Chain A
């Protein structure tokens, strides 16, 4: 027998005999004959493994990955931070990779403890009391935070800063069609949210306020004002934080966040064409019974030894069904374990150092780039690891020209950020970018816009 099944033909015959059947087809007698595929699937014949590797290798060869030949200055929620061999090696241990959700804690202490450590690390990074075991990505975490906020505040008006990643805002809108939340866009002014631009009275009073820190343009938002808006309206404050920037920035908890969400890709995951990434979710203990997804807690075993288990399970879909806090079942556990390993590798000094070096590189690059004739700052607000500029040419044109020079120049900004123009470019610079790379990049931009 082909594939990965061990059955020999003799064994199949024996097993069929045990069942009183004469052919494998007899196993499907319960399926109405008319429904069964007569001629099989119209798919190519199976390949051998080496042929499949060659085929997929050819497809991979048609891509331009980030690296020496395409130096990455793109971010927008996906960053080219260092992923050391030790993280890759530990995170690919098959015990972590090939296990299921830890339903039997006695044989799942490895994953459970790693997730418990992940929760602790995220709680420390955000300053919050509790973090869950992961959600799909930053967008999914934001959707869940909004659902929690609406349930906690009892009001379904949701103010969403336009500084929140635009694709996350699109995901919020998609899922809002089901939950019926009323999403209100709050505009930016000079790179930061202008909270008094929207009406907070009567039926428009928000139940949830969502803001990103730093925001999509890389700017540092005034979270004290965001908190005050929430205090005045009784809304829940959801802060979309950046786990690397958190190495040097005030924690969301210090700013008074009720729920903190984020994209955890920067904590040890390769760019991966956008997934699998890691949705981060943290909140206060006051909200823990509304927490979406899994939560690992410490307990003891029958002999009194420390042990870990999935807990507060009564929130979850398999028990509460239609009354569950969320429908999430499979999450991104392996990515949470990866992030725990990466945060262990970084440690207290490393997370601060990566943030500081990224900020240095970003400011160095921004200053240089603004020296290119025709390149203007989009906003003046302080930035950390990402910034936006306006170009003298359409950004997609410049990006294509830079690809030929070996640079992924950034992301073309949605025209909503540039008063309808297509000249906005979002540039991210991580600790992996060298002075030589940045100088060459700025030279290439200079030639491309000439």
Chain B
């Protein structure tokens, strides 16, 4: 309880809280969470703006300089250009670089955000996505100009089908939730084609929020089944809700508690028995890739989050990619047009195809293509064995953390986990008043990103940790030390107040979320 922390917290005026030890080195993981330079807020682009200043430069074209009046009828012309901002290129670079210094990222430090699979994003994938032969291709160019792209898409589809144990896939959905809705529409198309009007889709109470929201948009009603004492779907409760009005079930396996649904074969049998389909939410595929396949468990429809398992960078909230793979009987309904191999052999030829039964397009073009190219690159570098190693080490890291922290936090479901573990700050809160949220904020000033908190909803004061396979043992140790320090600090006199005031050493202190919603300021102009 002596040396100051590495963040210069005291100079930053953070009061009398003392960081107790010089932290362990954590090669991959620990970051100073203070901004690189200073703690001032950054002005907006609009405050930096100076009338008459500009950055843009355009091609010299030699085209006659006709006036706007001669080009656009008066009724359609604006009186004055839209007021954006007026800055120089140097202003622009300074501004966005300073903003980047106020942003935590995987490249900066460990990001154990449960259910989000924030693993390291290999740079080679970015380099491939930047190739002009991929990045500068117009999406409406004829197939004669896009044979390489079509092959990229077909090869990715084939690999994803092998990984999931499915027959074919669409690469159009732009994110996981888009994949879910696509999958539900496939479910609907299947039942329609078989003259069945069904109204209900079953989801467990531990499901991601996108599942029920997608069910509604798919035109179905949500039926929730509870989890049992072991954290898995309660098979008896499931059987009780299954009937011929159930279109299907959406499951994440391992589930959001990080636990493998051991009864999956029985679940699949029960759902299939009433004519329902099984939907696999691929958010947690990182746990089992190369180890077990959704198709072999009995699933009919699978979405994958390429921005999770296959390491495409998450971009601060997107772009993602949410391909949907299906079993043989659902292939005709897939969105079209689909990239296909028309002619194999010495001169392979690729093109597009749409089946008459297709549910139709789910994207303006062909999906988030550059994300898809990154994912294929990741798959090429790993191969089948490499993917299996990914799952093994992700599960190893999660179990190591769970075991190490079992004495510090509650472990609501105390058995081996998969790629993530869910702990609880319930006892800590009862003893000290320090909540899961406070633990999360304290971890930020320890130089790590927070875990997911208050999810899944069925765990009180939930802390959901997913270290991923790309963090080292040293980083895990440093992270565990930080958690233990946080718990120990909480029981010290004044510890709870201090935790409630965390974080101290971040670009801003705790942010007033209630005020943001109460007094809505959604644009700079709304402040005036």
Contacts and interface: CB of A to CB of B under 8 A. Distances in A.
| A and B associate | yes
12 contacts: A4-B470, A90-B92, A110-B99, A131-B522, A136-B178, A137-B364, A274-B366, A295-B522, A311-B513, A327-B210, A335-B319, A411-B140
Contacts of B292: 28, 31, 35-37
Contacts of A354: 56, 58
A210 interface: no
Interface stretch (B42-50, B236-244, B271-279, B490-498): B42-50
Interface in B506-528: 506-513, 515-517, 519-527
Interface in A1-59: 1-7, 11-12, 14-16, 18-19, 24-25, 27-32, 35-37, 40-49, 52-53, 55-59
A257 B85 CA distance: 24
Given A65-B133, A175-B185, A322-B212, A90 B380 contact: no
Interface string B370-414: 110100110111111111111011011101100110000000000
Contact of B96 (A80, A107, A114, A364): A114
A286 interface: no
A348 B307 CA distance: 35
A104 B444 contact: yes
B105 A98 contact: yes
Contacts, number: 744
A297 B384 contact: no
Contacts of B99: 109-111, 113-114
Contacts of B455: 318
B327 interface: no
A7 B473 contact: yes
A303 B61 contact: no
Contacts of A330: 175-177, 305, 307, 314, 317-320
A54 to B, nearest CB: 10
A345 interface: yes
B403 to A, nearest CB: 6
Interface in B27-68: 27-28, 33, 41-42, 44-46, 49, 53-66, 68
Contact of A117 (B44, B102, B124, B527): B44
B84 A273 contact: no
Nearest to B393: A5
B25 interface: no
Contacts of B60: 434
Interface string A274-309: 111100000001001000001111111111011111
B63 A435 contact: yes
B195 interface: no
Given A47-B380, A136-B178, A247-B82, A100 B111 contact: yes
Interface residues of B, number: 210
Nearest to A141: B364
Contacts of A97: 105, 107, 121, 126, 313, 315-316
A95 interface: yes
Interface hub of A2, A298, A335 (most chain B Cβ within 10 A):
A298
A320 B212 CA distance: 9
Interface stretch (A165-173, A197-205, A370-378, A416-424): A165-173
Given A327-B213, A360-B66, A363-B71, A106 B386 contact: no
A-B interface, 10 closest residue pairs, ranked by CB to CB distance from nearest: A274-B365, A60-B133, A334-B315, A110-B103, A46-B383, A274-B139, A62-B148, A333-B317, A41-B384, A276-B319
Given A30-B418, A354-B58, 16 more contacts: A4-B119, A31-B288, A40-B290, A45-B383, A74-B141, A78-B140, A103-B113, A116-B523, A121-B84, A124-B82, A249-B77, A273-B139, A327-B210, A333-B318, A399-B142, A431-B59
